[in-house]
Amino acid sequence: AQKITQTQPGMFVQEKEAVTLDCTYDTSDPSYGLFWYKQPSSGEMIFLIYQGSYDQQNATEGRYSLNFQKARKSANLVISASQLGDSAMYFCAMREGPDSSNTGKLIFGQGTTLQVKP
């Protein structure tokens, strides 16, 4: 069964420092995609970064990078040079491939609340 686990309910980081948010996943489908979203208090889900299961290199998008360790089934988000505006809830999510009975279904972790201190 597909599952996403985020073990850090809350994290603090000093402004300008880097922070890693943990995410592990479980799936039996060889084809899947992993996402990270940011949700500020307004409620909007903001797409940050995506990693496909067949991608050879770790995904990067500006200050965001995804540390993808396929054998360990982990997809940690790294935010470099944290900013005050990074304070929000962060969700890891997974979607299985087109041949899966779960295709079209995005499964989310419980989220990590990140607070950036000035």
The answer to the question of residue 51 lying near other proteins (CB under 8 A) is yes
Answer for which of 50, 58, 63, 73 binds other proteins (CB under 8 A) is 50
Q: Closest distance between other proteins and the C-beta of residue 44, in Å?
A: 5
> What's the rounded Cα separation, in Å, for the pair 118 and 14?
6
Q: Retrieve residue 111's tokens.
A: 């989220």
Q: Tell me, by CB under 8 A, how many residues bind other proteins.
A: 28
The answer to the question of residue 35 lying near other proteins (CB under 8 A) is yes
Beta pairing class for 88-96 and 64-69:
unpaired
Q: Which residue, 17 or 105, is less far from other proteins as judged by CB?
A: 105
Answer for which of 24, 33, 58, 74 binds other proteins (CB under 8 A) is 33
> What's the rounded Cα separation, in Å, for the pair 64 and 36?
10
Question: Tell me, what DSSP letter sits at residue 103?
Answer: T
Q: Closest distance between other proteins and the C-beta of residue 77, in Å?
A: 14
The answer to the question of residue 91 lying near other proteins (CB under 8 A) is yes
Of 106, 94, 98, 87, nearest in space to 12 by CA = 87
> What's the rounded Cα separation, in Å, for the pair 43 and 84?
18
Give the range of 9-17, 18-26, 73-81, 88-96 binding other proteins by CB under 8 A.
88-96
